């Protein structure tokens, strides 16, 4: 089949909602030239192909119809490589790989997003926080200006909102999030509400949705109790926070089962948060018991089967998350919680207690400190 470059040029123009006259003004040519290109009465001068490719954010290969399927496969491979490096916590390497890939395919929306994602993971590991976040915002704004991928548009907006939040620009954050859909308007809710899937497909879809809605609940609990990344910890009185976290831990068991698998990480964070709250209330016994529980959750997190499946009623048969989705080491995270300068103050009430010293010793050994 002969490649129809005129048809390709017309599809790119219409996808960007441009008239021939508007495109001609942008490129500095006559609209008659645009018309001739699209009807194959003439072809663009060779010097125009890089200009057109950059304008439409595609490669010249794609513009010329050079094995588009092979190009798409190559882009997917490069994205997979970036995300693999991220999962292995090789942040700097992931960023470098994404940069090289974007140079190879400068018009690829997927690779630009992969670069933004890698920079977000490496926010505190390379350059300064502000430099990384500013670049992420620029990449996402560039994608949003030209993106025709409606399935990813909300993801781009959400990530941009997170970025502006980290930069402290509340006005821009509100501008974005106020335009996002309400929960009841989202695809999962509507599919479930209207019963658009049947049988086993419905069961799997609903189980996935339950996990997603659980994540919303988890975010809310973390926010109310001042758990990372939230810093305000006095929205609720300490005892009320403890009761809330106890209820949340019961909910985790109901949803995921007794073994919790990946959720052992979240459970551990709840446990050491309760320990700090008991310190504030002057209850040493409860504080120490919660820190021992936090260590037990860390051990379970380090040893769960990443290829395992949940056996609870709500998640039965679904795969658990890999450890890399949460942390490289729960032991290191707990070590930082107990001994980081800003966190250490929370447990000053327990200093010089033999039981506390034993917990710190075990955590230090497991964390390799």
What phi and psi values does residue 319 have, to the nearest 5 degrees?
-70, 145
Tokens for 345? Answer: 């103050």
Which helix (H) or strand (E) covers residue 309, if one does?
Answer: none
CB contact set of 316 (below 8 Å; sequence gap of 6+): 207, 309, 310
Assigned fold of 5-63: 434 Repressor (Amino-terminal Domain) (1.10.260)
Correct CATH for 68-180 of 3.40.50.300, 1.25.40.10, 3.20.20.70, 2.60.40.420: 1.25.40.10
Higher pLDDT, 141 or 229: 141
pTM, two decimal places? 0.69
Confidence label for 98 from pLDDT (cuts 50, 70 and 90):
very high
Beta-bridge partner residues of 319: 309
Q: What three-state secondary structure class fits 89?
A: coil
**In whole angstroms, what is the distance from residue 113 CA to residue 102 CA?**
10
- CB 349, CB 337: distance < 8 Å: no
255-313 tens-digit pLDDT: 999 999 999 999 999 999 999 999 999 999 999 999 999 999 999 999 999 999 999 99
Mean pLDDT, rounded, for 99-121: 90
Exposed e or buried b for every residue in 197-225, given b needs 16+ CB within 10 A?
A: eeeeeeeebebebbbeebeeebeebbebb
**DSSP state letters, 233-279:** --SS-HHHHHHHHHHHHHHHHHHH-TT-GGGHHHHHHHHHHHHHHHH
What pLDDT is stored for residue 343 in this prediction?
A: 67
pLDDT of 69 over the 80 cut: no
Which pLDDT does position 350 carry in this prediction?
92
**Structure tokens given for 130:** 């502000």
Q: What is the model's pLDDT at position 2?
A: 54
Report percent pLDDT > 90 for the chain: 54
pLDDT at 1: 41
Residues 137, 128: Cα–Cα separation, whole Å: 14
Residue 187: pLDDT above 70?
yes
Residue 120 has pLDDT above 60, yes or no: yes
Spatial contact of 263 and 252, defined as CB atoms under 8 Å apart: yes
d(CA 114, CA 82): 7
pLDDT band at 107 (very low <50, low <70, confident <90, very high): confident
Rounded CA Rg of the chain:
26
Angle between helices 91-104 and 68-87 (to 10 degrees): 170
- The HSE-up count of residue 257 (CA atoms within 13 Å, CB side) is 16
Torsion sign, CA atoms 56, 58, 64, 69: negative
As a whole number of angstroms, the distance between CA 128 and CA 58 comes to 31
For the segment 163-171, the average pLDDT, to the nearest whole number, is 92
Domain boundaries, the chain: 5-63, 68-180, 189-367
Out of 2-16, 36-50, 60-74, 260-274, the most confident range is: 260-274
> Of 91-100, 107-116, 170-179, 333-342, which gets the smallest average pLDDT?
333-342
What is the sign, positive or negative, of the torsion defined by CA atoms of 247, 252, 255, 260?
negative
pLDDT in tens, 233-243: 778 999 999 99
pLDDT surpassing 90 at residue 27? no
DSSP state string for 6-75: HHHHHHHHHHTT--HHHHHHHHTS-HHHHHHHHTTSS---TTHHHHHHHHHT--HHHHTTS-HHHHHHHH
Proportion of the chain above pLDDT 70, given as a percent: 97
Mean pLDDT of 39-63: 84
For residue 160, with 0-12 CB atoms within 10 Å meaning exposed, 13-18 middle and 19 or more buried, which class applies? buried
Q: Average per-residue pLDDT in the chain?
A: 89
Rounded to the nearest 5 percent, the helix, strand and coil shares of the chain are 70, 0, 30
pLDDT tens, 307-346? 999 999 999 999 998 888 777 789 999 999 998 876 678 8
Burial class from Cβ neighbours inside 10 Å (0-12, 13-18, 19+) for residue 125 reads middle
């Amino acid at each position: 089949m002969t490649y129809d470059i005129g048809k390709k040029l017309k599809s790119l123009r219409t996808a960007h909602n441009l008239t021939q006259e508007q495109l001609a003004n942008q490129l500095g040519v006559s609209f008659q030239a645009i018309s001739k290109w699209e009807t194959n009465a003439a072809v663009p001068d060779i010097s125009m192909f890089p200009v057109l490719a950059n304008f439409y954010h595609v490669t010249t290969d794609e513009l010329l119809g050079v094995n588009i399927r092979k190009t798409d496969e190559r882009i997917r491979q490069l994205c997979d490589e970036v995300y693999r490096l991220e999962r292995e916590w090789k942040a700097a390497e992931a960023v470098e790989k994404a940069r090289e890939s974007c140079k190879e395919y400068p018009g690829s929306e997927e690779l630009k997003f992969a670069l933004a994602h890698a920079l977000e993971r490496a926010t505190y590991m390379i350059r300064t926080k502000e430099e990384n976040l500013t670049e992420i915002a620029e990449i996402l704004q560039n994608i949003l200006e030209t993106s025709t991928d409606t399935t990813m548009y909300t993801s781009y907006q959400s990530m941009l909102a997170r970025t502006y939040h980290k930069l402290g620009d509340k006005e821009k954050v509100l501008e974005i999030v106020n335009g996002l859909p309400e929960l009841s308007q989202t695809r999962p809710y509507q599919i479930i509400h209207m019963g658009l899937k049947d049988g086993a497909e419905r069961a799997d879809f609903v189980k996935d949705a339950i996990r997603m809605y659980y994540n919303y609940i988890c975010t809310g609990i973390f926010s109310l109790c001042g758990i990372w990344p939230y810093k305000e910890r006095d929205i609720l009185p300490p005892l009320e926070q403890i009761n809330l976290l106890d209820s949340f831990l019961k909910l985790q068991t109901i949803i995921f089962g007794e073994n919790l698998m990946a959720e052992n990480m979240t459970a551990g964070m709840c446990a050491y948060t309760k320990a700090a709250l008991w310190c504030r209330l002057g209850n040493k016994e409860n504080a120490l018991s919660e820190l021992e529980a936090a260590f037990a959750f860390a051990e379970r997190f380090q040893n769960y089967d990443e290829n395992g499946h949940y056996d609870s009623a709500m998640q039965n048969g679904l795969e658990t998350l890999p450890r890399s989705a949460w942390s490289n080491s729960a032991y290191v995270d707990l070590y930082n919680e107990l001994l980081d300068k800003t966190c250490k103050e929370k447990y000053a009430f327990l200093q010089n207690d033999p039981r506390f010293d034993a917990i710190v010793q075990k955590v230090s050994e497991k964390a390799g400190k």
